[in-house]
Amino acid sequence: MPLELVTLRCRQDNYAYLLHGDEGTVLIDAPEAAPVLRDLQARDWGLSAILLTHHHGDHVDGVAELVRETGAMVIGAAADAHRLPPLDLRITPGEPLEALGEPVEIIDVPGHTVGHVAFHFPQSGYAFTADSLMALGCGRLFEGTAAMMWDSLSRLNALPADTLICSGHDYCAGNGAFALSVDPGNQALRDRLAAVQEARQPCAPATLALERDTNPFLRVAALRAPLGMENAPDAEVFARLRSMKDAF
């Protein structure tokens, strides 16, 4: 059985995620402490570890209070240790990691920031991608380049199709509007947005298969011709889409 997954809405549009199993509970990213502590108390769960994807405040601001209240250890990228909260375990992409009795794949996903990592739990089928691959979109290129982000998305796109992509924000409205503007004939996209609106629910998490069908940043092959870039490499098509989204 997969680990139990709880999606927590934090701040205005952030997500944090709790994973729970027989060996305890871990948190992926900590935008703020209060919603996490409330949920832990309601479920009578402790917190053993916090896994951090990147250094931005809207993903780490709750760490200090959560550590004080729960004693959880903090795990994050060694390359970004100088700008993350104090780390108990420094990790490197590609090295082995285990959490809650499951192996965890640490994936290097620079672009949004240069030290961004994603966490893939292959046994449970979850990938915590934060601000790299997002629901119907991808993160802005604050520190990295378009080529970096395209390589990062390509690594994530190589995961199994049924992997549940757990991203860091609810940007469904803006991402969906942009996706429709560049891919208006995509019925799967229209169906996804209609279902989200009808259910009045966020559009994350979602399977990688659904992202492949509806996320313009994973559909560069289909959008190459509409953009007039028939002979352009994938990375250039992605860069055009990212610049269009920035100006949208």
6-19: average pLDDT = 94
Gap between the Cα atoms of 127 and 119, Å rounded: 6
Q: Report the domain count for the chain.
A: 2
pLDDT interval class at 203 (50, 70, 90): confident
To the question of whether residue 54 is assigned a binding role by annotation, the answer is yes
209-232: average pLDDT = 96
Task: For residue 1, tell me if it sits in a domain.
Answer: yes
To the question of whether residue 56 is assigned a binding role by annotation, the answer is yes
Task: For residue 50, tell me if it sits in a domain.
Answer: yes
Query: The domain that contains 184 carries what CATH number?
Result: 3.60.15.10
What is the extent of the structural domain holding 46?
Answer: 1-92
Task: For residue 29, tell me if it sits in a domain.
Answer: yes
Contact assessment for residue 199 and residue 213, using Cβ atoms and an 8 Å cutoff: no
Q: What percent of the chain has pLDDT over 70?
A: 100
Contact assessment for residue 53 and residue 128, using Cβ atoms and an 8 Å cutoff: yes
Contact assessment for residue 174 and residue 135, using Cβ atoms and an 8 Å cutoff: no
To the question of whether residue 82 is assigned a binding role by annotation, the answer is no
Gap between the Cα atoms of 200 and 185, Å rounded: 23
Please enumerate in sequence order all residues whose Cβ is within 8 A of that of 149, keeping only pairs 6 or more positions apart, or say none. 110, 111, 112, 132, 138, 139, 141, 238, 242
HSE-CB for 49 with a 13 A CA cutoff: 19
pLDDT interval class at 202 (50, 70, 90): confident
To the question of whether residue 39 is assigned a binding role by annotation, the answer is no
- pLDDT tens, 57-67? 999 999 999 99
To the question of whether residue 55 is assigned a binding role by annotation, the answer is no
To the question of whether residue 112 is assigned a binding role by annotation, the answer is yes
DSSP 77: E
**88 in the same domain as 127:** no
